[in-house]
Amino acid sequence: MVAPLPHDELARTARQMNLPGFGLEQQTLLHNAHVLVIGAGGLGCPVMQTLAATGVGEITVVDDDVVSLSNIHRQILFSAADVGRKKVEVAAERLRELQPGLTVHAVDDRLHEGNFLTHLEGIDLLIDGSDTFATKFLAADAAEISGTPLVWGSVLRYRGDVALWWSGPGAPEDGVGMRDLYPSQPDPDSVPDCATAGVLGVTTSVVGGLMSTEAVKFLAGIGESTVGKLYMYDALTSSIQQFSVRKDPGRALVAELGSYSGACAVPDASDRGRDLIDALERGEAYLLDVREPHEKLLSDLPYPGAHLPMSQLDQARETIAALPQGDVVVYCAAGARSDRFVEEFAELAAQLGITLHSLPGGTNRWA
């Protein structure tokens, strides 16, 4: 059922409806649209802020995280006073301040194979603001299975990508899905480490703005909303490149959700991790932190140790030679980088009487 625009919403968006080709009909389409946003993070925040202000009438946001101080530089719906609060709760408050009549569903949960398709029921547009390969491939597959249009974005360092995907039931005959560009999830070692790559805060706002623009064009039926057009933004040159992704005629559409593993994830080994922590507490092992300097400001382990960022591996031989003989526990944020360090330098360490152990789960699990 198409609901007419309330008087307050007409007044709030009046200047927008002065645009050529954008009038009451287009504003009403936005007001009656329901979008689902994955993640209230660096992309999700500017996307939701813009869509609420522009006039999208119903937003569901799914996130199970809390606000931390390190979020504030890019997650623009939050302030330092919100640290420790649930992101979806804070986001819902801010969005209602922008559009008092907005319907917001704040879902404090994580999307997974068992609940994703249910969450897409009644959704006009899925917006992926997630930051892991696992979630992005899960979202793309769920969108294709259900035939839900997907606005997709990603950021890394000074660069961002944006695209509109639409494939599966109800999509155009030549509809394009994300797997037409990325057929399979990349190997973790083929991409920059999740914790070390970094991102410029303003880049997320620019990319989020581009995602919002694609969403508004699609929902309101204005401008050129082209499925499969990929935009690549470079903050350092202020340039945007465009590429057209075509449907792969040899690719079978995704029929069911599979199994998805995060690029930064490591196998759960709680018992082994507990044994290493116990050895540190007894003073029977020494620490080697391979995270970057800024990560130590966020969390750390309270035991004696050395520090060698993975970005400075040219100093590895000297650092290892200065370590005490015996057991050395190597750690990072989650365990992926420490695994690689141990694999690369275990033989050198052994020649010096040192046994390297990677701490599974890293500071995310044990700090």
Tell me where in the chain the CATH 3.40.250.10 domain(s) lie. 270-366
Between residues 162 and 293, the one the model is more confident about: 162
Name the superfamily (CATH) of residues 33-244.
NAD(P)-binding Rossmann-like Domain (3.40.50.720)
pLDDT at position 367 is 83
State the chain's maximal CA–CA distance in angstroms: 77
User: Bridge-partner residues for 307, per DSSP?
Assistant: 289
* Residue 125 pLDDT exceeds 70: yes
pLDDT at position 265 is 46
Q: How many angstroms separate the CA atoms of 201 and 157, rounded? A: 9
Q: How many angstroms separate the CA atoms of 69 and 82, rounded? A: 9
Q: What is the pLDDT of residues 184-215, one digit of tens each?
A: 887 655 555 455 567 888 999 999 999 999 99
* Residue 263 pLDDT exceeds 50: no
Which of the four pLDDT bands, split at 50, 70 and 90, describes residue 294? confident
For 290, phi and psi rounded to 5 degrees? Answer: -110, 15
| DSSP line for 185-217 | PPPGGGS--TTTS-B-HHHHHHHHHHHHHHHHH
Residue 303: count of CB within 10 angstroms of its CB: 15
Query: Which of helix, strand or coil describes residue 71?
Result: helix
pLDDT at position 192 is 58
Query: Which of helix, strand or coil describes residue 246?
Result: coil
Intra-chain end-to-end CA distance of the chain, in Å: 51
The class (CATH top level) of 270-366 is alpha beta
What are the Cα distances from residue 289, in Å, to 146, 253, 261, 306?
44, 44, 25, 6
Of these ranges, 174-188, 240-254, 264-278, the one predicted with the greatest mean pLDDT is 240-254
Q: How many angstroms separate the CA atoms of 136 and 152, rounded? A: 8
Between residues 197 and 324, the one the model is more confident about: 324
Which of the four pLDDT bands, split at 50, 70 and 90, describes residue 86? very high
Q: What is the pLDDT of residues 35-57, one digit of tens each?
A: 999 999 999 999 999 999 999 99
**Which residues are catalytic, by number?**
194, 332
Is residue 119 within 8 Å of residue 62, measured between CB atoms? yes
Q: What is the pTM of this model?
A: 0.80
Is residue 228 within 8 Å of residue 165, measured between CB atoms? yes
pLDDT at position 188 is 54
Tell me where in the chain the CATH 3.40.50.720 domain(s) lie. 33-244
